[in-house]
Amino acid sequence: MAQSIQAIRGMNDLLPEDTSVWQKVEKVLRQTVASYGYSEMRMPIVEHTNLFSRAIGEVTDVVEKEMYTFEDRSGDSLSLRPEGTAGCVRAALEHSLIYNQEQRLWYMGPMFRHERPQKGRYRQFHQLGVEVFGLEGPDIDAEIIALTHDLWCKLGIADQLCLELNTLGNSEERKIYKENLVKFLEAHFEDLDEDSKRRTHTNPLRVLDSKDEKVKEILKDAPALYDFLGEESKAHFENLQKLLTSLGIKFTINPRLVRGLDYYNLTVFEWTTTALGAQGTVCGGGRYDGLVEQLGGKATKAVGFGLGLERLILLLTTLQKVAPSSPVDIFVCGMGENIESHQLALCAQMRSAFADCGVLNHCGGGNFKRLLKHADKVQAKVALILGEQELQNNTVMVKNLATGEQEEVSRQADVLTSYVAKILKK
Ligand code: ATP
Ligand code: MG
């Protein structure tokens, strides 16, 4: 026997019971972004590598170690997208969507990062991304946070997620802060772990979210970014907090929250849960006012977030907030000679009467017991059974599979439809 080939580590198949859950969650996500008046974007999964190195930053974990980069047949360096913001900005610029106009955009799809696979961390994962261009006030920051909060409420998990907020100030303020932070880190250099030592000179802000206990202890005395902010940056942050409070959205300020990518300024936020272990960040975002210009456009204010679908769905299934469901509602079967064409006609009748129901035709005949076993297996709600007698009477045997009750019902369209509708509670 030939050796079987398996999926790539960290890249998961979604099986029918998974996709039924995913579809329900995706429906809530789509409805919510639509209810805020946002428009969908669909970008390619592959982009030029330099889009990501320029947007995300050369010395970030994502670009340094996590990207799937390859040369195509013409020798161009391409990468599978590790996140959606860079591609969304590229597309918006390329098609003049953001030149002197505001845009509220969203997208959903797979992202790729070569990380160590574990619960909640995969090499192919999916994000819902939201990006807003051309608006600078804290009101839009509050709006996208409110949108995520609405999602948690609709999905019944608002009490499981905590909002952490921070501000990174503008690039001038951050530059002066970084100089002070580097001086502080250099003074404690020997006590830092290897990662923090390396980051001290490549990406010092990232040292702030180090998970190393000793580094955390040292950082207690580090200079605080907030003390380096000017009036404008402080006002933006305070106004955002006021807006969130007025919406009844609770938050905590986490001065160590810096986010992994280089392009953020002012507002940054994360929604975290303790229910998933180490991979507790379900959604993260913030402002990135410098990115559009960095990618060759005119300076444009921007804010957005990325929400990890695997982690969200893991949380929902762990808390039993969503369960797999069957795609079949109505099961049609028959016994006897030449019954197939009658079954097919009955299926067609049911599909046109119940457009949003799944109607499954049992193929291959069999005895009554076998047919009902199949109906049970596909978790249908109602079985329609045709036999010689029903054909003669122009009727069908209708069995409510939840109660076991069955009755011979006229095949006259309105009679049958209303009988089945009652069982389906339509
Ligand atoms: P983490 O702190 O877990 O490394 P991140 O800061 O790298 O996350 P972002 O780039 O902000 O993540 O992406 C936004 C969201 O996408 C995360 O909050 C998370 O829910 C999800 N995500 C990121 N990387 C992965 C991954 N490898 N597998 C599954 N989900 C992921
Ligand atoms: Mg990461």
121 lines ligand 1 (CB under 6 A): yes
311 lines ligand 1 (CB under 6 A): yes
Q: What is the pLDDT of residue 365?
A: 87
Domain boundary at 298, 318, 338, which? 318
Q: What is the pLDDT of residue 203?
A: 87
**Angle between helix 194-202 and helix 171-187 axes, rounded to 10 deg:** 140
**Three-state helix/strand/coil letters over the chain:** CCCCCCCCCCCCCCCHHHHHHHHHHHHHHHHHHHHCCCEECCCCCEEEHHHHHHHHCCCCHHHHHHCCEEECCCCCEEEECCCCHHHHHHHHHHCCCCCCCCEEEEEEEEEECCCCCECCECCEEEEEEEEEECCCCHHHHHHHHHHHHHHHHHHCCHHHCEEEEEECCCHHHHHHHHHHHHHHHHHCHHHCCHHHHHHHHHCHHHHHHCCCHHHHHHHCCCCCHHHHCCHHHHHHHHHHHHHHHHCCCCCEECCCCCCCCCCCEEEEEEEECCCCCCCCEEEEEEECCCHHHHCCCCCCCEEEEEEEHHHHHHHHHHCCCCCCCCCCCEEEEECCCCCHHHHHHHHHHHHHHCCCCCEEECCCCCCHHHHHHHHHHCCCCEEEEECHHHHHHCEEEEEECCCCCEEEEECCHHHHHHHHHHHHCC
81 lines ligand 1 (CB under 6 A): no
Q: CATH number of the domain that 277 lies in?
A: 3.30.930.10
- Sheet containing strand 382-386, edge to edge, reads 359-361, 330-334, 382-386, 395-400, 406-410
For the chain, the average pLDDT equals 95
CA of 423 to the centre of ligand 2 (A): 48
122 lines ligand 1 (CB under 6 A): yes
pLDDT at 1 over 90: no
Q: What is the pLDDT of residue 59?
A: 80
For residue 62, give the ligand 1 atom closest to its CA.
Answer: 7
56 and 116 within one domain: yes
| Residue 318 neighbours by CB distance under 10 Å | 13
CA 224/CA 143 separation, integer angstroms = 27
For residue 307, give the ligand 1 atom closest to its CA.
Answer: 15
247 and 364 within one domain: no
Confidence class of residue 60 from pLDDT cuts 50, 70 and 90? confident
Beta bridge partners of 267: 167
| Residue 60 neighbours by CB distance under 10 Å | 22
Q: What percent of the chain has pLDDT over 70?
A: 100
CA 353/CA 165 separation, integer angstroms = 51
| Residue 349 neighbours by CB distance under 10 Å | 18
Q: What is the pLDDT of residues 259-312, one digit of tens each?
A: 877 788 999 999 999 999 989 999 999 999 999 999 999 999 999 999 999 999
Residue located nearest, by CA, to atom 29 of ligand 1: 121
**Three-state helix/strand/coil letters over 244-297:** HHHCCCCCEECCCCCCCCCCCEEEEEEEECCCCCCCCEEEEEEECCCHHHHCCC
CA of 130 to the centre of ligand 2 (A): 18
Q: What is the pLDDT of residue 263?
A: 83
Q: How far apart are the first and last CA of the chain?
A: 50
Burial label for 98, CB within 10 Å (0-12, 13-18, 19+), is: buried
Query: Average of pLDDT values for 60-67?
Result: 90
Domain boundary at 291, 318, 345, which? 318
Domain boundary at 318, 343, 364, which? 318
- Find the ligand nearest to 306 CA: 1
Give the range of the structural domain holding residue 110, as residue numbers without chain letter: 16-169+229-318
pLDDT at 253 over 80: yes
- Is residue 184 one of the residues assigned to a domain? no
Q: Find the length of the chain.
A: 426
150 lines ligand 1 (CB under 6 A): no
Query: Average of pLDDT values for 28-47?
Result: 98
44 and 82 within one domain: yes
137 and 48 within one domain: yes
284 lines ligand 1 (CB under 6 A): yes
Q: What is the pLDDT of residue 404?
A: 95
Q: What is the pLDDT of residue 71?
A: 98
For residue 308, give the ligand 1 atom closest to its CA.
Answer: 20
For residue 261, give the ligand 1 atom closest to its CA.
Answer: 10
- Find the ligand nearest to 128 CA: 1
Asked if 29 and 152 count as a contact pair (C-beta separation under 8 A), the reply is no
For residue 61, give the ligand 1 atom closest to its CA.
Answer: 7
- Find the ligand nearest to 11 CA: 1
* Furthest CA-CA distance within the chain: 94
Query: Average of pLDDT values for 57-69?
Result: 90
113 lines ligand 1 (CB under 6 A): yes
Q: What is the pLDDT of residue 323?
A: 94
Q: What is the pLDDT of residues 326-343, one digit of tens each?
A: 999 999 999 998 999 999
366 lines ligand 1 (CB under 6 A): no
Q: Is the dihedral of CA 369, 371, 375, 378 positive or negative?
A: positive
Q: What is the pLDDT of residues 368-403, one digit of tens each?
A: 999 999 999 999 999 999 999 999 999 999 999 999
127 and 265 within one domain: yes
The two structure tokens encoding residue 413: 């369209």
- Find the ligand nearest to 111 CA: 1
101 and 61 within one domain: yes
Asked if 48 and 78 count as a contact pair (C-beta separation under 8 A), the reply is yes
Asked if 357 and 329 count as a contact pair (C-beta separation under 8 A), the reply is yes
Residue located nearest, by CA, to atom 14 of ligand 1: 306
411 and 284 within one domain: no
pLDDT at 426 over 80: yes
Query: Average of pLDDT values for 46-75?
Result: 94
Q: What is the pLDDT of residues 103-127, one digit of tens each?
A: 999 999 999 999 999 999 999 999 9
Q: What is the pLDDT of residue 158?
A: 97
- Find the ligand nearest to 114 CA: 1
12 lines ligand 1 (CB under 6 A): no
Q: What is the pLDDT of residue 339?
A: 94
Q: What percent of the chain has pLDDT over 90?
A: 91
For residue 312, give the ligand 1 atom closest to its CA.
Answer: 20
Between 41 and 202, name the one with better pLDDT.
Answer: 41
271 and 122 within one domain: yes
Q: Please give the single-letter amino acid code of residue 288.
A: Y
Confidence class of residue 61 from pLDDT cuts 50, 70 and 90? confident
304 lines ligand 1 (CB under 6 A): no
Residue located nearest, by CA, to atom 5 of ligand 1: 260
- Find the ligand nearest to 83 CA: 1
200 lines ligand 1 (CB under 6 A): no
- Is residue 10 one of the residues assigned to a domain? no
83 lines ligand 1 (CB under 6 A): yes
417 and 372 within one domain: yes
285 lines ligand 1 (CB under 6 A): no
Q: Please give the single-letter amino acid code of residue 116.
A: R
Confidence class of residue 174 from pLDDT cuts 50, 70 and 90? very high
Query: What is the value of pTM for the model shown?
Result: 0.94
CA 51/CA 75 separation, integer angstroms = 16
92-96, 115-119, 233-237, 334-338: which has the minimum mean pLDDT?
Answer: 334-338
pLDDT at 58 over 90: no
CA of 119 to the centre of ligand 2 (A): 13
Q: What is the pLDDT of residue 308?
A: 98
Q: What is the pLDDT of residue 403?
A: 96
Q: What is the pLDDT of residue 111?
A: 98
CA 216/CA 391 separation, integer angstroms = 78
370 and 314 within one domain: no
- Is residue 213 one of the residues assigned to a domain? no
Q: What is the pLDDT of residues 216-225, one digit of tens each?
A: 999 999 999 9
Domain total in the chain: 2
Classify residue 373 as left (phi > 0), alpha (psi -120 to 50) or beta: alpha
